[in-house]
Structure 1
Amino acid sequence: MTLRIDESRVREEVRRLRQESDDPVCAYVYDIDALRTHVRAMREALPAGCELYYAAKANADAPVLAAIAPWVDGFEAASGGELRWLRAHQPGKPLLFGGPGKLDADIRDAIAIPGCTLHVESLGELRRLAAIAHRTNRTASVFLRMNIGVDGVGDTRLMMGGKPTPFGMDEADLPAALAILRETPRLTLEGFHFHLMSHQCDASIHLRLVNTYLDIVHRWQRDHGVAVTTVNAGGGFGVDYADPSRSFDWAAFCEGLGRLLAERDETLRLRFEPGRFVSVACGWYVMEVLDVKRSHGEWFAVAHGGTHHFRTPPAQGHDHPFVVWRGHGDVAVAHEKVTLVGQLCTPKDVLARRQPVDALAPGDCLAFPLAGAYAWNISHQNFLMHPPPRMLYLPPCDAAGVASRHDARCADVVPSKP
């Protein structure tokens, strides 16, 4: 399964915007049909004995969550704000609550939510959870997040474990953690959580990693006399922005996973919580070119928007792929390399540097695919107080091939104070 990117419906929506108003285009456009098709295929490929959760940190827009909800077992929150947002917009759906630095107030909220499981990151956090459960007379299901080293699986450019990080507990802390749990009957150990690396594009290595997780948890059960039901193998399935066909092969991974679980006659359930890989391909960021200029021999296209809306390129350290949708203006530059920038008063406001274009002019649109995850929600949105982009959601077409439309302002999508 590869990430499918279809620009036809997005381009039609931008054409509609330009007909409605003379204002320069600046918008996120989400293809909800594509999102539903993708997450359904992900779910259907998973073998029996596996669960699929969505990591809302990637994109928690309400229409995105609604499209994903029928095909996942639940959602993962990494903050108290996300936890409350998910409960409000997906009531009754099982939730996972992870991440370091949980506030006591967040923990109290989590254990008050039916079906919410807590991922504990440290001994100190576990002690606080135990004390809060005792004071509030509530019970909670717990996963211990473990930071372990695994030989032979390489690394990626974003390692979350296997080295000193703020995430999870060392294996040496496990006996103390289990002792706290034995002394706190209100807490039930449901399983262990591992998330050692993100941006993993090698399905075979990830299979070896999952196999190791299962081996380790079975060993811990034997060595420490505990019984758990589930191993959460996290997310981290990689997206190659330069060449989406080289992204993580979910279908091959699931096929291999089915064989692996059958060969092991596995008794533990496996849980995955991807974020980026689920939603990235459904979103586009589109901005209209305002000016084309040459500076010290280099061409620049200044567009209506920038990294305060779309921080993905500098966050990932790449030149983001794009397409040019021509307007009606005379060509300002042709067959040159052009640097694409926004409106911010900083030379760091660059979305792609020295990229070849056939033709470009003010009034053209620059359309950036793979903008459905870690994009608007990680951007410094208030810098220079520029207006936010439009937020447009293209739902599935009906039987006649007609799509209805939802146009939300940013305040309708994710509030500043969930």
Structure 2
Amino acid sequence: MTRPVYVHDLDALAAQVSAIRAALPRQVELLYAVKANPDPGVLRTLAPIVDGFEAASRGELRRLAELSPDRAPAAYAGPGKTDADLAAALAADVRRIHVESPAELRRLGALATASGTSAQVLLRVNLPVDAPGASLVMGGGPSPFGMDPADAIDCARRPPAGIDVRGIHAHLASGLDASLAGTVAAAVVEWAVTEVGATEVDVGGGMAVDYADPGARFDWVGYGRALADVLDAYPGVRLRIEPGRSVTAYCGAYLTEVVDVKRSYGEWFVVVAGGTHHLRTPAAKGHAQPFTVHRRHDVDGPRTDGGPVTVVGQLCTPKDVLSFSATAGSIGVGDVLVFAMAGAYAWNISHRDFLLHEPPLFRTGDPQEVAAEWVAGPRGS
């Protein structure tokens, strides 16, 4: 077999999200951001454990309706919602629609009034909250995401007909450690309660995932303690979080076979089947995707000398780079590489039609066991 395969370890995923749920105060609602990985098996695994799903497109609404027709999505978010998007959210009976601007709020109100209903809304606010050390900041300055605080206050005080403003939503940064995430959550809740009298606050996701250290994990227990302190300070608030990457990243892997190795101007290149059109994460994030090597012992072919390597795919661009490693050891044709942390923002964000290569296969199970079976069989089977 040379066709790459994604392997989702659903048992590990269930254990991961169950541990997250146990670390959080009971009053905190745990939503999963579908955008991170909308795989049906992933969503079915999460469904009985999380408190709901956050969708950000009509396609995600359809996916959720197919898998859980009797369960309304918990939230519908994202910038640039068209009237068709808003109407779809109303038709799906989404529990909370996160509104990005005063104009979007007016359009939603008109649609809700025309349909004889009332839209249940959280106002997304772009707050000036410091987030030192965050990998991606989406708040505190000019941004397409959310409203300026003054606009949010005005919308909360004078909502248009058809709108029931239930509270505030703020997703201000990503790559937050537990301490910083707790600080940001406290600041968002304080502002929401003080300025608009909010009784519901969604503080978003953005929990850190460190691709350079696959063994590191976000401190959910510490974050849970921080949220408990927030709830103690504001006991009347209904608090939500909506992680995505930090829930599923560790439970998926991308497996592929080495088809060539070569030395160019003194540097080793390992060429694998597939590439960044299957696994876009390292190109999008600018990191080396962590991997392990399962060596095939029945192949007599070229191998690297055990020194530093660059792992590339099959695309006709020098940007098709999956990883670098100085510690992987000797890699040869026929070996199988297991790229870890491929369970979020991976296949679903990839430019899959570039060169019209075949898509990867999909399996469930333990990725390391799948790789061991792969190299034990005849090459190309």
Paired amino acid for 2:52: G
Contact 2:109 2:119 in 1 (8 A): no
Following superposition of structure 1 onto structure 2, how do residues 167-182 of structure 1 map, counting pairs within 5 Å? 167-181=145-159
Instruction: Mark the runs of 5 or more structure 1 residues left unpaired by the alignment.
Output: 1-22, 222-226, 396-418
Tell me the equivalent position of 1:250: 220
1:280 corresponds in structure 2 to 249
Following the alignment from structure 2 to structure 1, what is the Cα–Cα distance between the partners of residues 173 and 71? 27
- Alignment match, 1:91: 69
- 1:346 paired with 2:300, answer no
- Within a 5 Å distance, the mapping from 1:177-326 to structure 2 comes to 177-181=155-159, 183-184=160-161, 186-200=162-176, 202-221=177-196, 227-262=197-232, 264=233, 266-326=235-295
* Range with greater deviation from structure 2 (41-50 or 81-90): 81-90
Q: Is the 8 A contact 1:325 1:366 kept in 2?
A: yes
Q: Does 1:360 align with 2:338?
A: no
Shift of 1:137: 1.7
- Tell me, yes or no, if the aligned pair for 1:155 and 1:197 is still in contact at 8 Å: no
**Relative to structure 1, is the Cα distance of residues 65 and 356 closer, same or farther in structure 2, using a 3 angstrom cutoff?**
same
Q: Is the 8 A contact 2:306 2:331 kept in 1?
A: no
- Tell me if 1:378 matches 2:354: no
Q: State whether residues 234 and 271 of structure 1, in contact with CA within 8 Å, keep that contact through their aligned partners in structure 2.
A: yes
For 2:13 and 2:174, the matched residues in 1 are separated by 21
1:120 alignment partner in structure 2: 99
In structure 2, do the counterparts of structure 1 residues 258 and 179 end up closer, same or farther at CA, with 3 Å as the change threshold? Answer: closer
Measure, in 2, the Cα distance between the counterparts of 1:354 and 1:323: 10
Asked whether 1:136 is paired with 2:106, we answer no
Contact 1:157 1:199 in 2 (8 A): yes
From 37, 60, 65, give the equivalent of 1:82: 60
2:85 to 106, 120, 132: 106
CA-based RMSD:
1.6
How many angstroms does 1:334 deviate by? 2.6
Structure 1 residues 193, 304: CA separation in 2 closer, same or farther (over 3 Å shift)? same
Corresponding residue number in structure 1 for 2:377: none
- Quote the Cα distance in structure 2 between the aligned partners of 1:219 and 1:318: 40
- Counterpart selection for 1:44 from 19, 22, 30: 22
> How much has 1:35 moved relative to structure 2?
0.3
**Which deviates more, 48-57 or 248-257?**
248-257
Q: Secondary structure at the match of 1:360?
A: coil
| Residue 247 of structure 1: how far off its partner (Å) | 3.7
Q: Could you tell me whether the CA contact under 8 Å between 2:278 and 2:346 is conserved in 1?
A: yes
Deviations 1:52-98 (A, max 9, x none): 00000000011000000111111011112112221222223342110
Classify the secondary structure of the residue corresponding to 1:358: coil
CA distance in 1, matches of 2:157, 2:26: 33
Which deviates more from structure 2 when the two are superposed, residues 190-199 or residues 86-95?
A: 86-95
Say if 1:80 and 1:102, in contact at 8 Å, map to a contact too: no
Call closer, same or farther: CA 1:178–1:265 in 2, change over 3 Å. closer
- Residue type matched to 2:178 in 1? A
- Aligned 8 A contact 1:54 1:74 in 2: yes
Whole-angstrom CA distance in 2 between matches of 1:57 and 1:306: 21
Give the conservation status (yes or no) of the 8 Å contact 2:99–2:122.
Answer: yes
Provide runs of 4+ in structure 1 moved above 6 Å: none
**1:341-398 superposed Cα distances (whole Å, 9 cap, x missing partner):** 0100111000113533322110001110100000000000011011011100229xxx
Task: Tell me the secondary structure at the aligned position of residue 165 of structure 1.
Answer: coil
Cα deviations across residues 252-291 of structure 1 (Å, max 9, x unaligned)? 21133224433x1521011000000111111000110001
* Post-superposition CA distance 1:80-132 (Å, at most 9, x none): 21122212222233421100011111111111223432100001101111111
Aligned equivalents of 1:133, 1:287: Cα separation in 2: 49
- The SS at the match of 1:188 is strand
The residue type equivalent to 1:338 in the other structure is V
Code of the aligned partner of 2:285: Q
Question: What's the offset of the Cα at 1:175?
Answer: 4.0
Number of aligned positions between the proteins: 363
Take 2:243 and 2:153, find their aligned partners in 1: how far apart are those partners? 29
Q: Kindly, what percent of the aligned residue pairs are identical? A: 48
